[in-house]
Structure 1
Amino acid sequence: MLYVVHAYDYTDEQALERRMSVRERHLEGAKILKAGGHFVMGGALLSPEGKMMGSMMVVDFDTESHMNEWLQNDPYVTGNVWEKIDVKPFRKADV
């Protein structure tokens, strides 16, 4: 099952510092997800000024509980980077 994750960063003064302090761990986790066939695509959400304000990922997990287990252990969650997370099942259009 595919899931699209939209996650929005906290907006306090230390938010960018927290993001940057765990960014490499987050990206390493994405590489591990990709190697396991769970990462489809993703990247940073940008403000109109071009500043990172969140993330978007499309991930592939057998069950919602497996997806939630991954999500709750992501460094952007455990490091208090993402304030609001919206996850929805996703179906890719076959065009």
Structure 2
Amino acid sequence: MPPKSDLSASSTSVKIHPYMVWAPDHTDEGALARRLAVRQQHLVGVNKITKQGVLRVASALLAPGSEDAEPQDRKFAGSMLIYEAESLEVARRLAEADVYWKGNVWDKEKMVILPLLMATTLPERAGIVYPMPEDEN
């Protein structure tokens, strides 16, 4: 992937657009176990591409009623991510490179990727930076 370009760059530069990925988890009996088995690997991967400026937002989606649950009792519904990429196809390839895709955590048939027209700025553009877990190794 070429270096990330500024969204306001001239028309001769590569244009980067935000894409939202809604990736629901499978709902079968082993879905949570598959998620938890590769979770740390997933976090390392998203941390890496966040530092590269490609992944702007990532979040687990909780099932209703899980927001106040103890960590071991949380029920997951899927993931939401915002990538900045050159095209919808590049955003799709980024999602497909994730260990949750490869590990059959996300329901590939139900995944939705849409371009965004941002009404607010991303936190980093507003000068807000959240700490990320350190990479392994």
Structure 2 length normalisation: TM-score?
0.65
Match of 1:60 in 2: 84
Amino acid at match of 2:83: V
Identity %: 36
Larger fraction in strand: 1
Q: Secondary structure, in 3 states, of the residue corresponding to 1:69?
A: helix
2:25 corresponding residue in structure 1: 9
Task: Give yes or no for the alignment of 1:77 onto 2:93.
Answer: no
Task: Give ranges in structure 1 of 5+ residues lacking alignment.
Answer: none
Deviation at 1:32, TM superposition (A): 1.1
SS at match of 1:2: strand
Say whether 1:90 aligns with 2:101.
no
Deviation at 1:73, TM superposition (A): 1.4
Q: Identify the structure with the greater helix proportion.
A: 1
3-state DSSP class of the match of 2:78?
A: strand
- 1:5 and 1:94 mapped to 2: Cα distance? 17
* Structure of higher RCO (CA pairs closer than 8 Å, 6+ residues apart): 1
* Greater radius of gyration (CA): 2
Deviates more, 1:42-51 or 1:63-72: 63-72
Q: TM-score, normalised by structure 1?
A: 0.91
Q: Which consecutive residues of structure 2, in runs of 5 or more, have no partner in the other structure?
A: 1-16, 67-74, 122-137
Paired positions, count: 95
Mapped partners of 1:45, 1:94: distance in 2: 21
